[in-house]
């Protein structure tokens, strides 16, 4: 009979706070094994969670969560945290329909005080919690855990600057898993970190400051040297010190004997202002395949634990992402002015392939979407043709720059918006729901959406030729339709759509990849006696006024369908119809767009059904518009 795991006796952090510290490494080892086993079944984020196993155990051991607030930046590394906070029995439902979210989520647990999925928000949120705590005269701790990648975003430094000026009690833990800041760590560094975090050492440092301020020069110089030594002894924490934080580190994030004393010292020193603890970890720690290839095991499909081999998707059509990257490379072959920009997503946007082909024309600016947009604007001013590839949901973070630095100046920046529409297991935080609306309201833009991967290639070629204003094209996550691809795209006529199927009674005008659902709906309507036209808009802006007018005049019902929120393509069509008086003649106009709600993680097909943009919803809109006689006919 196998010995019962320590982890099996633990449901919440209170269950292991009574353990002696020498039991914690066993708990961490079991927690790591549980994480590997669970993600091997479900897929999801793996490397980041493996890297914070010991830190997760230490935080819940030292601090009184959930009263003490722990905010995980992004939240993709919080799987171990979920296992230890009442969700162990549901961990194999993570990212599955109806299961746990792949990120932290307020509605899921009181141990998730702040939801996340985009990066670099933790310090700002934590400062808000800390100020709220003080206003309410409470005494709990507030801890933000942020990765070195997320520290590349300006928002993190804005928050730290504000925290330092306010001087509020706040703990920020830098999870440095790329060795981007820290030198090697070891026993001496751990000793110094414990010393620096202790009350007695802080007292010594304050004495040194006082001496430097009040005593004669020779003694003052010696005291100042002592104080400077204290600042820099454990590693260049000067930047964080200058921002008003008390710097401690670096600490080996996988050594609980190093972590726990420092966290205890900081926890016990409750009268201090903001503290910055620098912890060095390794992505994928404890699972050799993930240690060897951190990028490959950041996010995974289900995999074989013994070999690390991930389940391969069945062979099918190339993804839209791959088609975008390969098509851009083809365009760049014949146009040396084309450059590619991404914000910390070279593989996610497919631009890692572009980087291999044209390294001198590829720029990964880090998690800095605002900078990416304005950087692209500067390149455009110099006569280059920047393609700024940013997920639809992440471009929201650079919206002011899109308006102020690009649109107002009519600069020809090309925005390639991947993950447009529903995205499956990543859920509402990553869904590309709003770009049609938030870009469609801006003057000077050309907005496009391809119905398939061939059209995507044509739109890339079109964008490359637009040199007098900004342009953007959106495309979904996942595989294309399998259409035969040309060698290179051909520029389209700006603002011109196309009719794909002719009919007489109902017109369906699709914007983007809902075209296939529109054709599916039309086929069923035809079988039931309702003659249906299907058109592919291609452009939201400028709108194909001639096509819209024709569809409105020649049909009883006009349906628009898109993969985006209220305020998008359908609103543009409705605005045009109203001002042209085309609604006055009795046209039944019905715009279909995403339901006015956030759609939870599920398969993309189910999400689109819930959002109301599948063939069944198109048919329903048609029969309701036509009235009772049509409903009887369809039945």
Q: How far apart are CA 332 and CA 358, in angstroms?
A: 8
Predicted pLDDT of residue 211: 47
Report residue 188's pLDDT band, with 50, 70 and 90 as the boundaries.
Answer: very low
433 plus 529 within the same structural domain: no
Report yes or no on 611 lying in a domain: yes
Last-in-domain residue among 442, 474, 506: 474
User: 474, 489, 521: which is the final residue of a domain?
Assistant: 474
In a domain, 306, yes or no: no
CATH number at residue 171: 3.40.50.970
Supply the pLDDT for residue 293.
82
| Better pLDDT: 423 or 308 | 423
- Domain enclosing residue 523, as ranges: 498-634
pLDDT at residue number 235: 47
Q: Report yes or no on 313 lying in a domain.
A: no
pLDDT the model gives residue 183:
44
Q: What percent of the chain has pLDDT over 90?
A: 80
- The pLDDT, as a whole number, for residue 181 is 40
Please provide the size of the chain in residues: 635
Per-residue model confidence (pLDDT) at position 151: 87
Taking the C-alpha atoms of residue 187 and residue 356, their distance in angstroms, rounded to an integer, is 40
pLDDT score recorded for residue 411 = 98
Q: Give the pLDDT score at 533.
A: 98
Do residues 329 and 449 share a domain? yes
Of all residues in the chain, the percent with pLDDT exceeding 70 is 89
In this predicted structure, what is the pLDDT of residue 198? 65
pLDDT, mean over the chain: 90
Write down the residue that tokens 């966290």 correspond to. Answer: 263
Residue 167 and residue 89 share a domain = yes
Q: Mean pLDDT over residues 71-90, rounded? A: 96
Per-residue pLDDT reduced to its tens digit, 437-459: 999 999 999 999 999 999 999 99
Whether the predicted pLDDT of 353 surpasses 50: yes
What global pTM score does this model have? 0.88
Could you tell me if 147 and 26 lie in one domain?
A: yes
Q: Is residue 456 part of a domain?
A: yes
**pLDDT (mean) for 488-495:** 98
| 352 in the same domain as 245 | no
Domain count, the chain: 3
Q: What is the pLDDT of residue 191?
A: 52
Residues 518 and 595 in one domain: yes
Same domain, 416 and 528: no
Q: What pLDDT is recorded for position 194?
A: 62
Q: Give the confidence band of 233 by pLDDT, cuts at 50, 70, 90.
A: very low
Q: Are residues 172 and 134 in the same domain?
A: yes
Task: Answer whether residue 230 shows pLDDT above 50.
Answer: no
Same domain, 120 and 264: yes
Q: How confident is the model at residue 1 (pLDDT cuts 50, 70, 90)?
A: very low
Q: Establish if 8 belongs to a structural domain.
A: no
Which of the four pLDDT bands, split at 50, 70 and 90, describes residue 298?
Answer: confident
Q: Is 521 found in the same domain as 598?
A: yes
From the CB of residue 154, how many other CB atoms can be counted at a distance below 10 Å? Answer: 13
Query: Last residue of some domain: 300, 331, 347?
Result: 300
Residue 488 maps to a domain: no
- Least confident range from 29-38, 61-70, 157-166, 227-236: namely 227-236
DSSP string spanning 260-276? HHHHHHHHH-TT--EEE
* Tens of pLDDT, residues 537-585: 999 999 999 999 999 999 999 999 999 999 999 999 999 999 999 999 8
pLDDT at 242: 85
547 assigned to some structural domain: yes
Q: What pLDDT score does 381 carry?
A: 98
Beta-ladder partners of 70: 143
Catalytic positions are 283, 369, 397
On whether the CB atoms of residues 417 and 390 are closer than 8 A, the answer is yes
Range from 9-13, 296-300, 420-424 carrying the lowest mean pLDDT: 296-300
141 and 287 co-located in one domain = yes
Q: Is the pLDDT of residue 203 over 70?
A: no
Average pLDDT of the segment spanning 40-51:
94
Task: Return d(Cα 205, Cα 195) in angstroms, integer.
Answer: 11
Instruction: Report if residue 212 sits inside a domain.
Output: no
**CATH code of the domain in which 588 resides:** 3.40.50.920
Q: What is the pLDDT of residue 229?
A: 47
For residues 345 and 241, state if they share a domain. Answer: no
Q: For residues 344 and 391, give the distance between their C-alpha atoms in angstroms, rounded to a whole number.
A: 11
Q: What is the pLDDT of residue 216?
A: 59
Mean pLDDT, to the nearest integer, of 354-358?
97
Contact between 387 and 328 under an 8 Å Cβ cutoff? The reply is yes
Does the pLDDT of residue 231 top 70, yes or no? no
**Strand pairing report for 532-536 and 498-501:** antiparallel
Interval 211-225: pLDDT, tens = 455 555 655 555 555
74-78, 189-193, 607-611 — which is least confidently predicted? 189-193
Which of 20-29, 153-162, 350-359 is predicted with the least confidence, judged by mean pLDDT?
A: 153-162
Type and span of the H or E element at 540: strand 539-541
């Amino acid at each position: 009979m196998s010995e019962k795991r320590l982890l099996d006796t633990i449901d919440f952090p209170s269950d292991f706070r009574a353990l002696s510290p020498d039991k914690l490494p066993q708990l961490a080892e079991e927690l790591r094994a549980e994480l590997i086993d669970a993600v091997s079944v479900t897929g999801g984020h793996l490397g980041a969670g493996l890297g914070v196993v010991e830190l997760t155990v230490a935080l819940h051991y030292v601090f009184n969560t959930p009263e003490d607030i722990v905010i995980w930046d992004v939240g993709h590394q919080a799987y171990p945290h979920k296992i230890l906070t009442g969700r162990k029995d549901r961990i194999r439902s993570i990212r599955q329909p109806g299961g746990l979210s792949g990120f932290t989520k307020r509605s899921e647990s009181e141990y998730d005080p702040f939801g996340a999925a985009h990066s670099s928000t933790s310090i700002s949120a934590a400062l808000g919690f800390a100020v709220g705590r003080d206003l309410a005269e409470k005494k709990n701790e507030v801890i933000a855990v942020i990765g070195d990648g997320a520290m590349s975003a300006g928002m993190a430094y804005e928050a730290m600057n504000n925290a330092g000026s306010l001087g509020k009690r706040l703990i920020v833990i830098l999870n440095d898993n790329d060795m981007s800041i820290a030198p090697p760590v070891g026993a001496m560094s751990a000793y110094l970190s414990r010393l620096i975090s202790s009350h007695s050492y802080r007292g010594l440092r304050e004495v040194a400051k006082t001496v430097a301020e009040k005593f004669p020069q020779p003694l003052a110089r010696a005291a100042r040297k002592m104080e400077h030594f204290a600042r820099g002894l454990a590693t260049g924490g000067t930047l964080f010190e200058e921002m008003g934080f008390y710097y401690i580190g670096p600490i080996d994030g996988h050594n609980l004997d190093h972590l726990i004393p420092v966290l205890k010292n900081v926890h016990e020193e409750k009268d201090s202002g903001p503290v910055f603890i620098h912890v060095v970890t390794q992505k994928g720690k404890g699972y050799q395949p993930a240690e060897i290839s951190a990028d490959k095991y950041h996010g995974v499909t289900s995999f074989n634990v013994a070999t690390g081999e991930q389940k391969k998707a069945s062979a099918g059509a190339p993804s839209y992402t791959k088609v975008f990257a390969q098509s851009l490379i083809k365009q760049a072959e014949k146009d040396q002015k084309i450059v590619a920009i991404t914000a910390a997503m070279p593989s996610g946007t497919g631009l890692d392939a572009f980087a291999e082909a044209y390294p001198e024309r590829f720029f990964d600016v880090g998690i800095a979407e605002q900078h990416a947009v304005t950087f692209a604007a500067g390149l455009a001013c110099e006569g280059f043709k920047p393609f700024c590839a940013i997920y639809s949901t992440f471009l929201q973070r650079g919206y002011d720059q899109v308006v102020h630095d690009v649109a107002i100046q009519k600069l020809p920046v090309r925005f390639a918006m991947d993950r447009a529409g529903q995205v499956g297991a990543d859920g509402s935080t990553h869904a590309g729901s709003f770009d049609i609306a938030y870009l469609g309201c801006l003057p000077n833009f050309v907005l496009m959406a391809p119905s398939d991967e061939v059209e995507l290639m044509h739109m890339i070629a079109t964008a490359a030729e637009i040199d007098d204003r900004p342009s953007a094209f959106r495309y979904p996550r996942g595989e294309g339709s399998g259409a035969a691809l040309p060698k290179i795209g051909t520029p389209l006529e700006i603002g011109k759509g196309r009719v794909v199927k002719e009919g007489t009674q109902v017109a369906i005008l699709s914007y983007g990849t809902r075209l296939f659902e529109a054709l599916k709906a039309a086929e069923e309507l035809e079988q039931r006696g309702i003659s249906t036209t299907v058109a592919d808009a291609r452009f939201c802006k400028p709108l194909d006024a001639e096509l819209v007018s024709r569809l409105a005049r020649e049909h009883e019902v006009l349906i628009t369908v898109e993969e985006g929120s209220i305020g998008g393509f359908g609103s543009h069509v409705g605005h045009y119809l109203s001002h042209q008086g085309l609604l006055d003649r009795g046209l039944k106009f019905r715009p279909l767009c995403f339901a006015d709600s956030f759609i939870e993680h599920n398969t993309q097909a189910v999400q689109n059904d819930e959002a109301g943009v599948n063939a069944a919803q198109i048919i329903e809109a048609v029969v309701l518009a036509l009235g009772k006689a049509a409903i009887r006919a369809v039945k």
